[in-house]
């Protein structure tokens, strides 16, 4: 599969089997992430590979966030929300938690560090697709909660940016892709002069 085909046929695949994923394939996915562009070669990405019982680290983090976010953490509703959150990581055999650790340097722009890690995530999704695996990049409010940093041993300036759930796709799980035409979202600026007068 060439890169053009990979970009256009990649989909977010949430339904996967519990079949084990070979470590070699996971290493390929991780290495693909490290080839993302990053200004000043800061390499601000950090990866945590959760497999088997290791997925419970994320489950406990999600449960803690659910309780911390509840109006009444002692209520039965909060307990139910925490238990539901605790089981979510079991949806895939492997989860790669991706975080950014921005470099503290006067010439480093923090936003560019985030951009580099987002590019790394796209590389990883494309690599998983090229290997015939299903993957989905999951985020949401709990991702960015301070308790998530605690569970992954990250510092105050670091941030979890998402979880890549990886597995063998359940048969028939290839959603149809839809995008707006680039023409609707593009302005060509050439010799006509400034866009705004």
Q: How many CB atoms lie within 10 A of CB 68?
A: 14
pLDDT of the residue at 64: 98
pLDDT of the residue at 173: 67
- Please tell me the distance from the alpha carbon of residue 81 to that of residue 75, in angstroms, as a whole number: 10
pLDDT in tens, 76-94: 999 999 999 999 999 999 9
pLDDT of the residue at 140: 97
pTM across the whole model: 0.94
Helices (H), the chain: 3-9, 23-34, 56-69, 76-87, 110-130, 146-151
Binding site for FMN: residue ranges? 10-12, 39, 137-139
- Please tell me the distance from the alpha carbon of residue 118 to that of residue 37, in angstroms, as a whole number: 10
17: tokens are 């089997």
pLDDT of the residue at 197: 56
In order of their start, the domains of the chain are: 3-185 (3.40.109.10)
- Using an 8 Å Cβ cutoff, are 94 and 50 in contact? yes
Binding site: residue ranges? 10-12, 39, 137-139
- Using an 8 Å Cβ cutoff, are 120 and 98 in contact? yes
Low-confidence ranges of the chain (pLDDT < 70): 173, 192-197
pLDDT of the residue at 175: 77
């Amino acid at each position: 599969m060439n890169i053009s085909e990979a970009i256009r046929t990649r989909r977010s695949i949430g339904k996967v089997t519990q079949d084990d994923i070979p470590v070699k394939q996971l290493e390929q996915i991780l290495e693909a992430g490290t080839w993302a562009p990053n200004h000043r070669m800061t390499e601000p990405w950090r990866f945590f590979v959760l497999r088997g019982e290791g997925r419970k680290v994320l489950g406990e983090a999600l449960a803690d966030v659910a309780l911390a976010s509840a109006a009444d953490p002692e209520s039965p509703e909060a307990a139910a929300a925490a238990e539901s959150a605790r089981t979510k990581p079991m949806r895939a055999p492997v989860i790669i938690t991706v975080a950014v650790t921005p470099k503290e340097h006067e010439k480093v722009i923090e936003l560019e560090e985030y951009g580099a890690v987002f590019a790394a995530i796209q590389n990883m999704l494309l690599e998983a697709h090229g290997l015939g695996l299903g993957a989905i990049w999951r985020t949401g409010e709990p991702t960015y909660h301070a308790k998530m940093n605690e569970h992954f041993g990250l510092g105050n300036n670091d941030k979890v940016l998402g979880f890549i759930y990886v597995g063998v796709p359940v048969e028939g799980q290839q959603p149809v892709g839809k995008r707006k035409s680039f023409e609707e979202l593009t302005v060509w600026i050439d010799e006509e002069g400034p866009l705004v007068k």
